[in-house]
Structure 1
Amino acid sequence: MEVTFQHANPHSGHESVLIRLSGDVTEQTACILFDSGTDVDVDGLLGDDEYLTAIVLTHAHLDHYATLGTNLRDGAPVYTSEPTAAILDTVLTEAATNYDISNVDAVVDALEPISDWTTVLGDVELRPVPAGHTPGAAGFLIRFDDGGETRTMLVTGDWTQRSAAGFPGLPTTLSPDAVFLTGATNEEFEGELTAAVETILERVQAGSTVLVTASGLAGVHIAALLAKLDTNDIDPPSVSITGHAAKLYETLGYDYSTVTSVPTFDDPDAILEPGTVTIAGPEVPVEGSAAKFYDCVQDDPGATLVQLTSGSVSPVESAGCTVDRFQYSNHPPEAAVDDLVEDLAPRQVVMMHQSGPALSRYKDRYDSFVWATTDWDEYKIYEDGTWVAPPWVNDRVARRLRSQQYGNGSSLGSFIDTEGVLSDVERNEVSLEAEGLDASAFRTWSQQSTPYPPKLESSTQNTEPEFEDTDTSISKHFEEIESRLSRVEQSLTDKEKADSSTHEVQIVDAGDGTLLLRLLNPDAITRNLTHGEMIKIRVVDTSD
């Protein structure tokens, strides 16, 4: 039996790989393409006497399916997890309107969703396992029997050990002999995600109309997180998820009481409301649903635009509304990559989805044979019962690594012990902590925040509310009150409903991000005001 690999786009993403398995377990060489990313050309990879056995899609992100429609040949099926298969028609149809995606119907016809061990060719089998990263993402195990010994390999695709909208992260209880490992990392994801959710909540609490722009699956993720805030004793905001993201939300079976799914709409203004969240795509509001909503809010000083961007696009930097952006790139921190390799203890590690120094950092890093290459060469990693060392590793180093591999518990066939406990790619209950949100920060924030100011005693009683001193910057308070007062001023365009009387108020900085307006002469109000009541005021500049 012989196993080789060949990077399918080493200079254009490096996330796609062609694995060939040949020998007694197959009648012909099994040629399996894992992910069909940018610039992948199967015709150029396969020899004249080779046939494509299968394409395996790890998840529904563009950089992993960009050339899927152009690489269908030889009647090869497209294997993927059941959740990804369910949404792929919608994903590809949407992508075809904005990108050079072709043969959508042919791809859908070739789809074969799998959830358990599936025979690919001869005795070669595939099985998906959860991979975190995005809803429906999966890594894939490959196993074959050679001389009575079971050999296993794992292709991770993009992965995290965090959950993604309830879909579990990559398990560490596997023991593959070889792992094709995505080395893309992000040290800041959890902090960025926490900051994005906090910003959304703060602006909703301030009464702002909040527009969140994100890719389809990222929109599903953020909607699920906002809906589950009640597990941290925070009232979830009302959310409308729209367009492409709404279709994915429904197809994946999400149904939260605080989230309204609006796949199609005619009037964006009918969906946008103060104090609520609207989720639309794409991640920058230059086209699609996002552009329609942005047209409605970009000149509204009381509205907020929150962009969740992958880092590959240029976000909106400023507008008449408040503008924020956060990088949404769900990859593990570098330490998690090291921990995963230590837990899996494979003999072979083929690094993918990185280049330059980011790829070179993995060379000679583990007690495994590490392949950190960016060329088109075909490399042999297994032959006749032996996992082959890279050609640049001398015999002395190879013997040392093999000795260490046996010492750390790695052994041929060890994976078989975990067969009965493999996790399935299916959605569980969303846990904020498992998703990477800082739950302690949310608890602190919710205790310090309140959607309405506390009821004040009449100033005629000469009493003043007591507030705890904080280190919150004065500039942040001024920005907050400016935004709130701008919204109030704009909303007073309806002259028939506006109170014609004028009353002097004093701005009170209550700390913890709360600004209050104290009536200087409450006796002049002709009716009783109650705590929590929403009223309109007219702001007059008295600085002169």
Structure 2
Amino acid sequence: MEVTFQHANPHSGHESVLIRLSGDVTDQTACILFDSGTDVDVDGLLGDDEYLTAIVLTHAHLDHYATLGTNLRDGAPVYTSEPTAAILDTVLTEAATNYDISNVDAVVDALEPISDWTTVLGDIELRPVPAGHTPGAAGFLLRFDDGGEPRTMLVTGDWTQRSAAGFPGLPTTLSPDAVFLTGATNEEFESELTAGVETILERVQAGSTVLVTASGLAGVHIAALLAELDTIDIDPPTVSITGHAAKLYETLGYEHPTVTSVPTFDNPDGILDPGAVTIAGPEVPVEGSAAKFFDRVQDDAGATLIQLTSGSVSAVESAGCTVDRFQYSNHPPEAAVDDLVEDLAPRQVVIMHQSGPALSRYKDRYDSFVWATTDRDEYRIYEDGTWVAPPWVNDRVARRLRSQQYGNGSSLGSFIDTERAFPDVERSEIRLEAEGLDDPSFRTRFQQSDPELPKSKSATQHTDSPVVSEDTDILEHVDEIESRLSRLEEALTDREGADYGIHQVRVVDAGDGSLFLRLCNPDDVAQSLNHGDKVTRGCHRTITTPRSRVNAEVE
């Protein structure tokens, strides 16, 4: 039995790899392409007597399926996880419109969603496992039997150990013999995500019309996170998710009471709303749904544009509205890559999706044979029961590494078998901390029944904002309101033995010295209070001030 690999686009993303398996395990060489990214040409990779056995798609991001339509041949199926297969028709149709993706119908016809061990050819089997990174993403275990000894390889695709909108991260208990490991890292993802969501909340609380632009799956992720803020006692904002992102949101089965899905619309003005969030794509508002909304808000001093970008496009830098940008590139920190390799303890590590110094940092880094190459050469990694050392590793180093591999608990056989239970690529309960949000930060800043008045410059720079812009003005207004409410409370509560009802109200400063009390729960008291009634029941006062929190909100 022999296993080789060949990088399919080492200079154009480096995320695609062709793995060949030949020998007693199958009557012909199995040629399996993992991801079909930019500049991948299967015809140029395969020999005249070779056939494409299968394409495996790890997730529905453009850099992993860009050439999928042009590389279909030999009747090869396209294996992917069930969630990714469900959204791929929508994704590819959108990509065909904006990115010149071809053969959408043929790709959809070739799709074979899998969730358990699936025979690819002969005794070669394939199984998806969760990979975090984005909704529906999967890594894939590739297993074969060589003379009664099981061997297993893991191709991670893009991965994180964080969840993504409820889809679990990559498990660390797989124990494969070889790992084709995406080495792309991002040290700032959690801080950028947290800052982005905090900014959304700040601007919503300031009464701003908030437009969030993001790619389709990133938009789904943000909508789901905003909807789940009530799990840490933060009032979630009202969200409208639109266009392509809305279709993905619905297809993946998300339902949240604070999120309205609007796949198609005629009038953007009917969706945009002060104090609410609209999510649209693409990540920079130059086309599609995002452009329609941006056209409405770009000259509005009371509106906000928040761009979640991958870094591959130029963001809008300025406009008449407030403009913010946060990098949304969901990869693990470098330390997490090291931890994963230590936990998996593989014999072979093939680094992908990196180049230059970012790739070189992995050379000789682990107690494994590390392949960190940027050429299209075909490399043999397994032959006749032995995992082969790279040609640049001398015999002495190879013996040392094999000794260490035995010492750290690795064995010639894989621990992965058909009876073992694996996590499935399916959505579960969303936990904000597991998604990468800085939970303690949110609890400190936003966890209250009535939100604190925003103090950031972006929340006070617009003349039409309902928030008072200076602390001294706020204090004067609050002092007056407290005084009036104190007199009102004394008048309403000076009745011994009275059976008081409690109704929460919000103080509204209408200007010109006029203050109103607005019922916060009108539906609950509709039967007991009517227009023109005088309130003689107990009053529970709720006020928020910059100096202390006595429970209330000033509009």
TM-score norm. by structure 2 comes to: 0.86
1:508 corresponding residue in structure 2: 471
Give the drift of 1:147.
1.0
Q: Is the alpha carbon distance of 1:148 and 1:294 closer, same or farther for their aligned partners in structure 2, counting shifts above 3 Å?
A: same
What is the count of residue pairs matched by the alignment? Answer: 495
Give the drift of 1:509.
4.7
Q: Is the alpha carbon distance of 1:520 and 1:122 closer, same or farther for their aligned partners in structure 2, counting shifts above 3 Å?
A: closer
What secondary structure sits across from 2:3 in the alignment?
Answer: strand
d(CA) in 1 for partners of 2:418, 2:202: 45
Give the drift of 1:393.
0.2
d(CA) in 2 for partners of 1:354, 1:63: 13
What secondary structure sits across from 1:201 in the alignment?
Answer: helix
What secondary structure sits across from 1:129 in the alignment?
Answer: strand
d(CA) in 1 for partners of 2:241, 2:459: 26
Do 1:82 and 1:115's aligned partners in 2 also have CA atoms closer than 8 Å? yes
Which runs of 5 or more residues in structure 1 are unaligned? 454-471, 490-504, 539-544
2:506 matched to 1:532? yes
Q: Is the alpha carbon distance of 1:478 and 1:193 closer, same or farther for their aligned partners in structure 2, counting shifts above 3 Å?
A: closer
d(CA) in 2 for partners of 1:418, 1:365: 32
2:461 corresponding residue in structure 1: 482
2:32 matched to 1:4? no
2:250 matched to 1:272? no
Give the drift of 1:507.
4.2
Do 1:506 and 1:519's aligned partners in 2 also have CA atoms closer than 8 Å? no
What secondary structure sits across from 1:71 in the alignment?
Answer: coil
2:341 matched to 1:341? yes
Do 1:488 and 1:536's aligned partners in 2 also have CA atoms closer than 8 Å? no
Over the aligned positions, Cα root-mean-square deviation in angstroms equals 2.3
2:405 matched to 1:405? yes
Do 1:206 and 1:451's aligned partners in 2 also have CA atoms closer than 8 Å? no
d(CA) in 2 for partners of 1:432, 1:294: 29
What secondary structure sits across from 1:319 in the alignment?
Answer: coil
Give deviations 1:74-125, integer Å, cap 9, x for gaps.
0000000000000000000000111120000000000000000000000000
What secondary structure sits across from 1:222 in the alignment?
Answer: helix
Do 2:206 and 2:466's aligned partners in 1 also have CA atoms closer than 8 Å? no
2:220 matched to 1:246? no
Do 1:60 and 1:84's aligned partners in 2 also have CA atoms closer than 8 Å? yes
2:552 corresponding residue in structure 1: none
2:431 corresponding residue in structure 1: 431
Q: Is the alpha carbon distance of 1:218 and 1:276 closer, same or farther for their aligned partners in structure 2, counting shifts above 3 Å?
A: same
Give deviations 1:358-408, integer Å, cap 9, x for gaps.
000000000000000000100000000000000000000000000000000
Matches within 5 A, 1:26-45: 26-45=26-45
Letter in 2 for 1:109: D
Letter in 2 for 1:41: D
Give deviations 1:37-84, integer Å, cap 9, x for gaps.
000000000000000000000000000000000000000000000000
Give the drift of 1:487.
3.6
Which runs of 5 or more residues in structure 2 are unaligned? 489-503, 513-555
2:61 corresponding residue in structure 1: 61
2:549 corresponding residue in structure 1: none
Do 1:506 and 1:517's aligned partners in 2 also have CA atoms closer than 8 Å? no
Give deviations 1:422-470, integer Å, cap 9, x for gaps.
11000001000110111000000024794476xxxxxxxxxxxxxxxxx
d(CA) in 2 for partners of 1:227, 1:478: 26
Give the drift of 1:415.
1.9
d(CA) in 1 for partners of 2:28, 2:359: 33
What secondary structure sits across from 2:13 in the alignment?
Answer: coil
1:24 corresponding residue in structure 2: 24
Report which stretch shifted further, 200-209 or 62-71: 200-209
Do 1:6 and 1:18's aligned partners in 2 also have CA atoms closer than 8 Å? yes
1:493 corresponding residue in structure 2: none
What secondary structure sits across from 1:532 in the alignment?
Answer: strand
Q: Is the alpha carbon distance of 1:120 and 1:521 closer, same or farther for their aligned partners in structure 2, counting shifts above 3 Å?
A: closer
Q: Is the alpha carbon distance of 1:452 and 1:309 closer, same or farther for their aligned partners in structure 2, counting shifts above 3 Å?
A: same
Do 1:52 and 1:73's aligned partners in 2 also have CA atoms closer than 8 Å? yes
d(CA) in 1 for partners of 2:430, 2:288: 29
Matches within 5 A, 1:84-163: 84-163=84-163
Q: Is the alpha carbon distance of 1:73 and 1:521 closer, same or farther for their aligned partners in structure 2, counting shifts above 3 Å?
A: closer
Letter in 2 for 1:480: A
d(CA) in 2 for partners of 1:209, 1:106: 42
Give the drift of 1:486.
3.0
Q: Is the alpha carbon distance of 1:519 and 1:30 closer, same or farther for their aligned partners in structure 2, counting shifts above 3 Å?
A: closer
Letter in 2 for 1:294: F
d(CA) in 2 for partners of 1:257, 1:109: 35
d(CA) in 2 for partners of 1:518, 1:434: 41
Do 2:234 and 2:447's aligned partners in 1 also have CA atoms closer than 8 Å? no
Q: Is the alpha carbon distance of 1:521 and 1:187 closer, same or farther for their aligned partners in structure 2, counting shifts above 3 Å?
A: closer
Letter in 1 for 2:390: P
Matches within 5 A, 1:293-372: 293-372=293-372
Q: Is the alpha carbon distance of 1:537 and 1:212 closer, same or farther for their aligned partners in structure 2, counting shifts above 3 Å?
A: farther
Give the drift of 1:480.
3.1
2:526 corresponding residue in structure 1: none
Letter in 1 for 2:506: G
Q: Is the alpha carbon distance of 1:126 and 1:532 closer, same or farther for their aligned partners in structure 2, counting shifts above 3 Å?
A: same
Give deviations 1:132-177, integer Å, cap 9, x for gaps.
0000000000000001100000000000000000000000000100
Letter in 2 for 1:110: A
Q: Is the alpha carbon distance of 1:56 and 1:477 closer, same or farther for their aligned partners in structure 2, counting shifts above 3 Å?
A: closer
Q: Is the alpha carbon distance of 1:369 and 1:519 closer, same or farther for their aligned partners in structure 2, counting shifts above 3 Å?
A: closer
Letter in 1 for 2:460: I
d(CA) in 1 for partners of 2:152, 2:457: 60
TM-score norm. by structure 1 comes to: 0.87
Give deviations 1:512-541, integer Å, cap 9, x for gaps.
xxx56628999xx9xx9x962445559xxx
What secondary structure sits across from 1:382 in the alignment?
Answer: strand
Letter in 2 for 1:91: V
Letter in 1 for 2:72: L
1:224 corresponding residue in structure 2: 224
Give deviations 1:331-376, integer Å, cap 9, x for gaps.
0000000000000000000000000000000000000000000001
What secondary structure sits across from 2:362 in the alignment?
Answer: coil
Identical pairs, percent: 85
What secondary structure sits across from 2:477 in the alignment?
Answer: strand
d(CA) in 2 for partners of 1:266, 1:55: 39
Give the drift of 1:307.
0.5
Do 2:207 and 2:466's aligned partners in 1 also have CA atoms closer than 8 Å? no
